[in-house]
Structures are given as C-alpha cells and as structure tokens.
Amino acid sequence: MNKKLYVISGSSGVGKGTVLKGFLEKHPEYMLSISCTTRKPRPGEVDGVNYFFISKEEFENCIEQDKFLEWAEFAGNFYGTKKKYINQCLFDGKDIILEIDTKGALQVKKRMPEAVLIFICPPSYEVLENRLRGRHTEDEATIQKRLNEAKIELERAESFDYKIVNDDLKKAISELEKVMGCENA
C-alpha cells in the first residue's frame, strides 16, 4: 500500500495543534513529523517531542548542507522539516503528517506533488484573534506579527487541496478523518 504524506497548515492560533491532537488520539498509526525551530520553547514544550529546538547557527548549517525538505521564516523565527526523518517514516511504511506554515507547504507540494495539502480555517478573523490571545503563550508584539501572517496565510490557502473550518472541534476532527480517508477506521 502506498504511504502518504499530509501537510496541515493554518494561521497561528486557529487550532491546528488541538485538531491534530484529537485526530492522533483516535489514529495513533499516523506519524507526526517533528520540526526543527530556532524559536524558544514555551512552558511545557519538550525538546525532541514538540520540536527540535536548535540555534540559528545550527539551522543555517542544515540549510547549507541541504538537510531540509522545506524550511521557512515565520514571525521572526526559522522552522524546517528534516528530509531524513520524512524519508525514514515513508521507508518504514508510515503515513506521515507535517504541521507547517503555508510557505513550507507549497515547497513540499513542489518537491512531492503527491502530498495532500489541508488548510485549517478559523470561523472568523475575530475568533482567530481571541484564540491566539486566549492561549497566553505570546507577548503582544508576537501576537501582532502572527495576526499579520494570518492574512497572508489565508491568501495562500487557495492553492491547498482541502479546507476545513475549525469551528466545532469534534466536527473539524471528523472532517479531517474524511479527508484522510479514515472515517470508518
């Protein structure tokens, strides 16, 4: 059976992490890719679990050595997906999910046209802002940067294969199951 690569994007605070957590609890057979980032860990985030937290210098070395399948700068920090990790998962026969920004998603689609791109939309811009603020993980300057990125991300969503509105969480998870063809699994 052909293993698949899914890419999930959406504005910061839309609920990507929350939807994916709910999905993966029901479908632990999917692998979630762990990205590298130069962002500082939030309280509770663990190196090697949420991200590989690396320095800007290490990140630049990885770019030079062509170690990333894709990478992007987002709101002042760098994020990237290591080729080695993805290739190993696909080699091991595992379906894999990347939770990355829209710039990265479009890079993946270019390199791997068979990748399925899914965009999570907020019910409205106001709800997005409330969720981002309600999470209490970013300072005001960072929230502003992320809200600005949100507008650009929404424009890029036009190139995605599927869009899911994250209004009711359970509904969003079940739509994701449908898109990924595992609603009866």
User: Which residues bind to ligand ADP, rule: CB under 6 A?
Assistant: 10, 12-18, 131, 134-135, 166, 169, 172
23 vs 74 by CB, closer to ligand 5GP: 74
Size of the site for ligand 5GP (CB under 6 A): 15
User: CA 151, CA 143: separation in Å to the nearest integer?
Assistant: 13
Q: Judged by CB under 6 A, which of 27, 39, 83, 145 binds ligand 5GP?
A: 39
Rounded Cα distance, 138 and 13, in Å: 11
Contacted entry of ligand 5GP, ligand ADP, none for residue 35, CB cut-off 5 to 8 Å set by kind: ligand 5GP
Give me the residue whose beta carbon is nearest to ligand 5GP. 104
Using CA atoms, how far apart are residues 15 and 20, in angstroms rounded to an integer?
8
Using the structure block, give the residue that is written with the tokens 């998603």: 105
Q: Which of 79, 85, 119, 160 binds ligand 5GP (CB under 6 A)?
A: 79
- Cα–Cα nearest to 8, from 182, 150, 164, 183: 164
Closer to ligand 5GP by CB, 150 or 180: give it.
150
Q: Give CA separation, 61 vs 56, 67, 68, 104, 135, in Å.
A: 9, 9, 10, 18, 33
Closest Cα partner for 6 from 84, 103, 82, 112? 112
3-state DSSP assignment of residue 156: helix
Q: Does 95 engage in binding with ligand 5GP (CB under 6 A)? A: no
Does residue 15 interact with ligand 5GP by CB under 6 A?
A: no
- As measured in angstroms, the least distance from the Cβ of 184 to ligand 5GP is 28
If one asks whether residue 80 binds ligand 5GP (CB under 6 A), the answer comes out as yes
Residues that bind ligand 5GP (CB under 6 A): 12, 35, 39, 70-72, 74, 79-81, 99-101, 103-104
